[in-house]
Amino acid sequence: MNLSLSTKTNPQHTLILGIFEDGSLTASGKALDHAEKGLIAQLFKNKTVSGKCGECFPVLLQTTKHQPAALLVGCGKAKEIKESDYRKLITAAVKTLNSLQIKAADSALTEINVGKRSLAWRVKFHAEVSMEALYRFDHYKTSKDPVHLQKLSLLIDTKDQAAAKIALAQGTAIANGAAYAKDLGNEPSNVCTPSYLAQQAKVLVKAFPSIKLNVLDEKAMEKLGMGAILGVTKGSAEPAKLICLEYRGGAKKAAPVALVGKGITFDTGGNSLKSPENMVGMKYDMCGAATVMGVFKAVAELKLPINLVGVIPAVENMPGGNAYKPEDILTSLSGTTIEVISTDAEGRLILCDALTYCERTYQPEVVIDIATLTGAVVIALGFHATGLMSNDQALADDLLKAGIDSHDRAWQLPLWDDYQEQIKSPYADIANTGGRSAGSITAGCFLSRFTKNMRWAHLDVAGTAAMMMGTSDRMATGRPVPMLVQYLLNHAGE
């Protein structure tokens, strides 16, 4: 879909208008209602439309001077519209237009006040949500669900053009990055292997010459001493990869922001085998890796004036005669020894080596890891908030703010020393799990042992990176690409 800005409506386009529960309209709605001799007011009076949030009603117009049709979109109560309401009504409008096979539309939903959000925010968010509403992953379906809506213009005032143009570019880039992350996440694991992720990184670099790539194979990792990653990959026939991306848009000597993304392309639990029902959805265990690649795509599109590195440990976690076992002891790249209590706590094992490699190779200003790390975070926060832990409160605050700015929110969990007691081992420096209680926090405590010399934050996206609402309703979400790109925008002063 082509997104654009316009200061006036196109007579050939369907016009999207908001209507509130009290029957009131925004400026464009009032103008059209006046031109149509009170048609919209009459529809409300007759209770044909209610203004309930997300309710859509197509209207054929009577005059020839205006659009051939309008779509009335319920917005709820005018003084109570929240970001989630705005998402709901945009999604409903775009999906309704597409189902009606409308090819081009002008949206006046930018006129709706959403709390204290600026017009630029509304334009940016409208772009993101509109593209998300039309997202498809039907590569393997013999019958495709077509996208009919090809053009969408967001209506703005002339005085707002400069800010709106920047906002539209940002929203489009974020949507493209999130869609790319979703595409990677939705691929089946027989396609999306560690080698496939490395190949897709090459495709990304070809599309954006500002991105550089280095891929370490198992031989290189063994030479470095990455015993934790190599321990996890032992049971798989698929070779592990360490994918390293670099984007240099800032000052030559400026320390980069580093993103480390968990790339378990399928997680059986290893010899600590998952139950069959819990194995469905484990292709999404590489959504941290997909997020890193999605963020790189968005940053390169926007040509942000920052330095950014991404480190992706890509591995399968499989059972078998060669696979690592509970009570094995691994020696990590840092030299820290790890007793394996559960082979299903593998994400932290590959991340700890990646974090150490990141510190030694890039000396980052900050490092943020992204991982579908624990089922415990889903129990704690559900599917709405990403779990955030950090050893630096200023960094945590910046990420929390970016989450609010983007409406891709996180919630901070504590990393008190008290929890470190749970991951003690009688045989090694540390155990890879601390039991069921506070499972997300003890996983964060484990990672904190490898980030003592860095400003570090951990995002546990097990509940937010994919929708897991049953066997027939599963889809990667692209989160937390919006939060992280917003963080980088804020970081770059953009």
Determine whether 124 is an active site residue. no
Which one is catalytic: 348, 409, 449, 479?
348
Collapsed DSSP state (helix, strand, coil) of residue 484: helix
Q: Which of 102, 109, 145 is nearest to 127 (CA)?
A: 109
Using alpha carbons, list the distances in angstroms from residue 445 to 254, 329, 397, 413, 423.
29, 19, 19, 11, 8
DSSP label at 124? H
DSSP label at 274? P
Determine whether 436 is an active site residue. no
How far, in Å, CA of 382 to CA of 394, rounded?
Answer: 25
Beta strands in 87-221 (DSSP E): 104-107, 151-155, 211-216
278 and 386 Cβ atoms separated by less than 8 Å: no
Which one is catalytic: 274, 325, 455, 474?
274
How far, in Å, CA of 207 to CA of 176, rounded?
Answer: 13
Q: Which of 102, 107, 104, 105 is nearest to 122 (CA)?
A: 107
114: amino acid identity, one letter: V
Q: Which of 232, 355, 212 is nearest to 288 (CA)?
A: 355
Using alpha carbons, list the distances in angstroms from residue 106 to 48, 182, 187.
23, 27, 34
How buried is residue 203: exposed, middle or buried, by Cβ count under 10 Å (0-12/13-18/19+)?
exposed
Tokens of 218: 């198992």
| Cα-Cα-Cα-Cα dihedral sign, residues 351, 356, 357, 361 | positive
How far, in Å, CA of 303 to CA of 145, rounded?
Answer: 33
* Structure-token match 């770059």, residue found: 492
DSSP label at 25? B
How far, in Å, CA of 284 to CA of 392, rounded?
Answer: 29
Tell me the CB-side half-sphere exposure of residue 11, using CA atoms within 13 A. Answer: 4
Cβ neighbours, 10 Å, residue 342: 15
Using alpha carbons, list the distances in angstroms from residue 64 to 11, 60, 323.
9, 11, 72
How far, in Å, CA of 282 to CA of 331, rounded?
Answer: 26
The kind and range of the H/E element at 349 are helix 347-362
Collapsed DSSP state (helix, strand, coil) of residue 194: helix
Q: What is the β-pairing status of strands 263-267 and 307-317?
A: parallel
Residues carrying an active site annotation = 274, 348
